[in-house]
């Protein structure tokens, strides 16, 4: 059994394959599906989570590397799902289109929050919402 601290809660889970990346443990075993699969090779950033405050692409991180560290996923930003300043700004500026990459975008923004303008984010958004993401990060810094 493996114990992971996700969003402040310890989850003790049976990981069937020791090679299973953190992404799939979070999605399939723990059952938090806000973190997305996009490429599986750490390029697109849809799977971004915070590990001890650092934005990491979870699709290629072995689950053993995450044991004993604080993992934060999109579900952990606020209890009501809309009250974190980044969430408020994202809604106010109507950032998402299809929305699939947005969990990863918000978690990438979390790394430096509050602060920054998102210019260092290298995640992919096929819908092309980058301009609004930047504006929302700047706005969130003031909320």
Partner 1 sequence: MPEVLDLEESVSTITVSAEQEAVPAASNASSGTTRRTFIASATGGFMLQFCLPGLSRVALAVGAPAPTQVNSYIQIGADNSITVLFGGCELGQGSMSGLAQLVAEELIVDWAAVKSVSAPPSAISYITGGSSAIRTNYLPLRQAGAAVRTMLIQAAANTWKVPVSECVASKGIVTHTPTKRTLGYGALAPAAAKLTPPANPTLIADANLKLIGKPMRRLDIPDKVNGRAIYGIDVRIPNMVFAAVKHCPSLGGTVAKLPANGNGITYVNLGNAVAAVANNTYSALAAVGAGGDNGGGGGANFQWNIPASAAQINSALYATQATSLMATGKAVNAELIGNPATSIKTATTTLTSTYTFPYLAHACMEVLNCTVNLTATTCEIWAPTQASGWVQATAAAITGLPLAAITVHTTLLGGGLGRKIEQDYIAQAVTIAKAIKKPVKLTWPREEDFGRDQYRPMVVSKVQGGLDAKHNIVAWENRIVTPSILAQRGWIAAGAEDGQATEAATGLPYAMLSRSVDFVVHPATVPIGFWRSVGCSFNSYVSESFIDELAHAAGIDPYTYRRTLLANNPRFLAVLDAAAQLGGWTTALPAGHARGIAISEAFGTVVAEVVEISGATATGLKVVKVSCAVDCGRVINPDSVTAQMQGGIVHGLSSVLWGHITFTNGAASVRNFNNYRLVRMADMPQINVKILSNTNAPTGAGEPGVPPLGPALANAYFRATGIRVRNLPFFPAASKMSDG
Residues making contact with partner 1 (CB under 8 A): 16-17, 19-21, 24, 27-29, 31-44, 46, 57, 59-60, 73-75, 77-78, 81-82, 86-87, 90-91, 94-103, 106, 118-134
Nearest distance, CB of residue 52 and partner 1, angstroms: 20
- Measured between alpha carbons, how far is 91 from 71 in angstroms, rounded to an integer? 24
Neighbours of 9 (CB within 10 A): 10
> In the structure encoding, which two tokens stand for residue 22, read together?
């953190």
* Beta carbon nearer to partner 1, 44 or 50: 44
CB 3 to partner 1: min, Å: 18
User: Is the distance from CB of 92 to CB of 53 less than 8 angstroms?
Assistant: no
């Amino acid at each position: 059994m493996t114990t992971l601290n996700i969003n402040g809660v310890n989850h003790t889970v049976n990981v069937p394959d020791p090679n299973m990346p953190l992404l799939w443990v979070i999605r399939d075993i723990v059952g938090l599906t806000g973190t997305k699969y996009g490429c599986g090779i750490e390029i697109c950033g849809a799977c971004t989570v915070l590990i001890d405050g650092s934005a990491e692409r979870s699709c290629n991180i072995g689950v053993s590397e995450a044991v004993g560290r604080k993992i934060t996923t999109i579900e952990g930003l606020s209890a009501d799902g809309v009250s974190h300043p980044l969430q408020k700004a994202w809604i106010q500026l109507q950032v998402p289109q299809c929305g699939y990459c947005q969990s990863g975008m918000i978690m990438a923004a979390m790394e430096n929050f509050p602060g920054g303008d998102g210019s260092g984010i290298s995640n992919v958004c096929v819908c092309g919402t980058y301009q609004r993401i930047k504006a929302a990060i700047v706005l969130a810094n003031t909320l």
